[in-house]
Structure 1
Amino acid sequence: MTGGGAGLVAHVLVPERDVDVRLTIGPDECVALIGPNGAGKSTVVEALAGLLRTRDGSVVLAGRDLTSVPTHRRRVGLVAQRPDLFAHRTVVGNVAFGPRATGAGRLEARHRAATALAAVGASGLADRSPTTLSGGQAQRVAVARALATEPALLLLDEPTTALDVDARTEVRAALRAALRGRPTLLVTHDPLEAVTLADRVVVLQDGRVVEEGRTEAVLRQPRTPFSASFSGLVLVPGTATPTGIALDGGGELASATHTVPPGRPAVAALHPTAARVRRDGPGLARTVTAVEPRDGLVRVHAGDLVADVTVASAAALGLEPGVAVRVAVDPDEVSVAAPA
């Protein structure tokens, strides 16, 4: 199945919600839209889908101005958190509903439904009742339902949030098939989903774009606290040096990845598991300020630095607030970038 032949250029301007977002998506590109709750992600989705009519801004898709076009004429497919399938229709009947609603004949709608189900690996579910499906199966059918309308733009609004781990894997495979050949916007809180599906990441905060770039670049070298948290990294502020960064909290970290001119404000991005904690020896001198359990490890806050260590290591080192420690990080594990 093929989508639109060109991309999306949009300016979502909603003054009453304090949202002002410019967004461009290539004709065969998936962009992940991330940000804290209340950042404006839902407003962007609603505006692109035509569910939110605004006086200002613009939405141009494949060279067609959709700003004043009603939802059912936009050729926009939407997959939300929950499938919301019609219980009184079979799976194939659910998927064929969209084409029928947009004017396709019965045979054409059934053909498009069958093609869409095959694309997401759900042909075997065609004659089932939605009430007999697992969560992952139902969401795959929802993806097929969006595909059957042959959308020029696909909107994925946290499509795996309501699923368990196994079902998420199943649905991601369906999504990879769905987004080929069309611009796609993916709203997600799942970094793995962004890595496996998105070409680029756009970070929203307070209704504005605060960071954007290739997915790998944003997640490896985040410039905002949210993108760092999203990727599992921590940001440590300081000043760039020729070999790394002089931290505001004292001491210097060497970095194998640093592009900020010396003397400029910078942030170091590192994963807490990359930080090694000792009671003495090499490393930056810090004092433990907090210790907390985290995902089977112990998270140690030592001033501006954060380290994840095993429970056994925490016990052996006697880590608790007030204890003096040394924290070391290999240069290969530290990225230095300009702050957003």
Structure 2
Amino acid sequence: MTSDHPGHGGLRAHVVVPDRGVDVRLDVAPDECVALVGPNGAGKSTVVETLAGLLRVRSGAVILGGRDLTGVRAHRRGVGLVAQRADLFPHLSVARNVAYGPRATGSGGREARHRSDAALAAVGVAGLADRAPGTLSGGQAQRVAIARALATDPVLLLLDEPTSALDVDARAEVRTALGTARTGRPTVLVTHDPLEAVGLADRIVVLAGGRVVEQGPTAAVLGRPTSAFAASFSGLTLVGGTATRGGIAPVDGGELVSTTHTVPPGSPALAAYHPTVAVVTRDGAGPTRRVTALEPRDGLVRVRAGALVADVTVAVAATLGLVPGDVVRIAVPPDELTVYPPA
């Protein structure tokens, strides 16, 4: 369900909340979805609350489609918000829940019902119109919540961890609905789910300590992260060091070889790899490191050895008899290691 709402345009925001330590600049193009990611306490919720008008601030600015919304109250901003839980009105039918927004903003009954029907159809739940919220599954309720946001034809859509409370099957259905909802309007997505970011976001902005620490196209941030959180978010291990002719010399010593890199030797460099490709031995190839921690992880054992990380099977860990403090060698296949310049 797209829109030609005259207010649709890009977002330009500077969120400044000194008592929370947040100072974030955020730009979103008119038909762009930006994923806002970062550790807990990074400032993501503060940004969303400010954009929605739920948090009144004295500094900064929120400019949407050329309109200054900085001092505008939440219900007059034309912003749609889909949060973790649907929070539908229990005493209203699904159709009346979705029509509530248009009615509240001045639409007549027939127009509100038309908007409700169109929004429900857009996210694939038209058949639920006459149902009571209490009879819906979690995934159904969340799709209705998305329809409720769409029915107001928002000039900005805020998605605050919209699938985090759902099971795996329901998440897939809701992601499809979110893909429809984000089309034709600037969208900010807060998520801890890499699949959600890949499926919905054009760009990723990484927050840490109330500041932007990394941003770029989704594929670039996930494939060549420059911040610790982006690497963790994408499941990669990030290693800093100096470029060599063959790869990278990590800060802790040794060398990791890469078949694909263009960083001039002697220049600062980063390297990324997936920890499942790393090989741990007692006396094989790779830099020598001391094991600092062993952690269970998705049926594997995560071996931490300084900045290097390897995920090995339980059998491998048992065969090597690994314990913290052991000295091991960790090698990464050259074609699995990406070396690139820092941001």
TM range (shorter): over 0.9
Q: Equivalent residues in 2 for 1:10-29 (5 A)?
A: 10-29=13-32
Q: Aligned residue for 2:242?
A: 239
Q: Which moved more, 1:289-298 or 1:81-90?
A: 289-298
Q: Which moved more, 1:308-317 or 1:123-132?
A: 308-317
Distance in 1 (CA, whole Å) between partners of 2:317 and 2:61 is: 55
2:116 to 108, 113, 116: 113
Q: Equivalent residues in 2 for 1:176-215 (5 A)?
A: 176-215=179-218
Unaligned residue ranges in structure 1 (runs of 5+): none
C-alpha distance after superposition, 1:129-176 (max 9, x if no partner): 000011111011000000000011100001111111111111111101
Cα distance, 1:263 vs structure 2: 2.1
Distance in 1 (CA, whole Å) between partners of 2:139 and 2:175 is: 10
Q: Which moved more, 1:70-79 or 1:279-288?
A: 279-288
Tell whether the 8 Å contact from 1:224 to 1:339 is kept in structure 2 after alignment.
no
Distance in 2 (CA, whole Å) between partners of 1:184 and 1:334 is: 33
Cα distance, 1:336 vs structure 2: 2.5
Cα distance, 1:110 vs structure 2: 0.5
Distance in 2 (CA, whole Å) between partners of 1:315 and 1:307 is: 15
Q: Which moved more, 1:310-319 or 1:112-121?
A: 310-319
Q: Aligned residue for 1:224?
A: 227
Tell whether the 8 Å contact from 1:285 to 1:327 is kept in structure 2 after alignment.
yes
Q: Aligned residue for 2:163?
A: 160
Q: Aligned pair in 2 of structure 1 residues 278, 123: CA closer, same or farther (>3 Å)? A: same
Distance in 1 (CA, whole Å) between partners of 2:206 and 2:263 is: 21
Q: Aligned pair in 2 of structure 1 residues 57, 259: CA closer, same or farther (>3 Å)? A: farther
Q: Equivalent residues in 2 for 1:76-87 (5 A)?
A: 76-87=79-90
Tell whether the 8 Å contact from 2:278 to 2:309 is kept in structure 1 after alignment.
yes
Cα distance, 1:74 vs structure 2: 1.2
1:285 to 278, 288, 297: 288
Cα distance, 1:277 vs structure 2: 1.7
C-alpha distance after superposition, 1:6-40 (max 9, x if no partner): 21111112222221111111111100001111111
Tell whether the 8 Å contact from 1:285 to 1:326 is kept in structure 2 after alignment.
yes
Q: Aligned residue for 1:320?
A: 323
Cα distance, 1:114 vs structure 2: 0.6
Distance in 1 (CA, whole Å) between partners of 2:210 and 2:291 is: 36
C-alpha distance after superposition, 1:85-135 (max 9, x if no partner): 000000001000000000000010001011000111111111100000111
Structure 2 residue 104 is matched with structure 1 residue 98 = no
Detail structure 1 runs of 4+ shifted over 6 Å in the superposition: none
Alignment-mate amino acid for residue 306 of structure 1 = V
1:140 to 130, 139, 143: 143
Q: Aligned residue for 2:2?
A: 2
TM-score, with structure 2 as normaliser? 0.94
Alignment-mate amino acid for residue 294 of structure 1 = R
Distance in 2 (CA, whole Å) between partners of 1:9 and 1:303 is: 40
Alignment-mate amino acid for residue 99 of structure 1 = P
Q: Aligned pair in 2 of structure 1 residues 257, 38: CA closer, same or farther (>3 Å)? A: farther
Tell whether the 8 Å contact from 2:88 to 2:97 is kept in structure 1 after alignment.
yes
Tell whether the 8 Å contact from 2:256 to 2:286 is kept in structure 1 after alignment.
no
Distance in 2 (CA, whole Å) between partners of 1:187 and 1:215 is: 14
Q: Equivalent residue of 1:312, what SS?
A: helix
Distance in 2 (CA, whole Å) between partners of 1:222 and 1:240 is: 16
Distance in 2 (CA, whole Å) between partners of 1:318 and 1:14 is: 51
Alignment-mate amino acid for residue 48 of structure 1 = L
Identity %: 72
Distance in 2 (CA, whole Å) between partners of 1:120 and 1:209 is: 32
Q: Aligned residue for 1:59?
A: 62
Tell whether the 8 Å contact from 1:223 to 1:337 is kept in structure 2 after alignment.
no
Alignment-mate amino acid for residue 210 of structure 2 = G
2:176 to 173, 192, 205: 173
C-alpha distance after superposition, 1:173-215 (max 9, x if no partner): 1101110111100001111111111110001111111100011
Cα distance, 1:227 vs structure 2: 1.1
Q: Aligned pair in 2 of structure 1 residues 211, 259: CA closer, same or farther (>3 Å)? A: farther
Tell whether the 8 Å contact from 2:255 to 2:286 is kept in structure 1 after alignment.
no
Cα distance, 1:262 vs structure 2: 2.8
Alignment-mate amino acid for residue 17 of structure 2 = V
Cα distance, 1:222 vs structure 2: 1.0
Distance in 1 (CA, whole Å) between partners of 2:305 and 2:57 is: 48
State how many pairs are aligned: 340
Distance in 1 (CA, whole Å) between partners of 2:52 and 2:160 is: 11
Q: Which moved more, 1:236-245 or 1:200-209?
A: 236-245
Distance in 1 (CA, whole Å) between partners of 2:20 and 2:288 is: 46
Tell whether the 8 Å contact from 1:117 to 1:126 is kept in structure 2 after alignment.
yes
Alignment-mate amino acid for residue 109 of structure 2 = R
Q: Equivalent residue of 1:151, what SS?
A: coil
